[in-house]
Amino acid sequence: MGIENVGTSDGELVRCVLAGDTGAYGALVARYRDRLGRYAVHMLGDRQDAEEALQDAFVRAHRSLARCDDPERFGAWLYGILVNRCRTTGGRAARRARLFVRDDAALNGVPLPSPAERAEWDDTVRWALGRLSPEYREAFLLKHIEDLEYEEMAQLTGAGISALKMRVKRAREQLQVIFREAERV
């Protein structure tokens, strides 16, 4: 599913963990930390939330490791747990009240370093993705971050293939509209 492994296979590591070598789980965490983190960061739009979701997904996966039917596909199984976890976090974050403060003294007093284009795009992408509904954002990211087939996406999300195709298509259309509107401002 677009996740490559180097060195000891996932299956071997999972078997070591199940045999009592908890340390082997550390290798799996290190292997998938950044790869899954990318999805969580873009899905939740907040690094702290993403790290919490990721940590929780790893812990839950360890707790239920015996239920991982195909240890060689541990990555795909873990991805499914993270997708679910992001759904709950996303819902909770949306209900949060936000208290937003600017340190104006610091902003006015010091010329801010001009942001690099990459950093600017970070903000732009977060803003644009944040305007999509969670279902559209989820489908868009699963399709485009991991290049998943729709069958794989259906397994991860529990949604039907045609619904997922529609969500990806609508997400792309909405992003076009969002950017066209932003250009007019």
How far apart are the C-alpha atoms of 111 and 70, rounded to whole Å?
A: 55
- Report if residue 26 touches other proteins, rule: CB under 8 A: yes
How far apart are the C-alpha atoms of 100 and 118, rounded to whole Å?
A: 24
Classify the C-alpha dihedral 140-145-3-14 as positive or negative. Answer: negative
- Report if residue 110 touches other proteins, rule: CB under 8 A: yes
- Report if residue 22 touches other proteins, rule: CB under 8 A: yes
Chain CA centroid to CA 157, Å:
13
Q: Which residues in the 57-76 window bind other proteins by CB under 8 A?
A: 58-59, 62-63
- Report if residue 41 touches other proteins, rule: CB under 8 A: yes
Q: Which is nearer to other proteins, 54 or 76 (CB)?
A: 54
Q: Could you give the angle at the alpha carbon of 46 between the alpha carbons of 61 and 165, nearest 5°?
A: 70
Q: How far is CA 123 from CA 92, 126, 182, in A?
A: 22, 5, 14
- Report if residue 124 touches other proteins, rule: CB under 8 A: yes
Q: Which is nearer to other proteins, 15 or 126 (CB)?
A: 126
Binding site for other proteins (CB under 8 A): 22, 25-26, 29-30, 33-34, 37-38, 41-42, 46-48, 50-51, 54-55, 58-59, 62-63, 92-93, 95-104, 106-107, 110, 112, 120-122, 124-125, 128-129, 141, 144-145, 172, 175-176, 179, 182-183
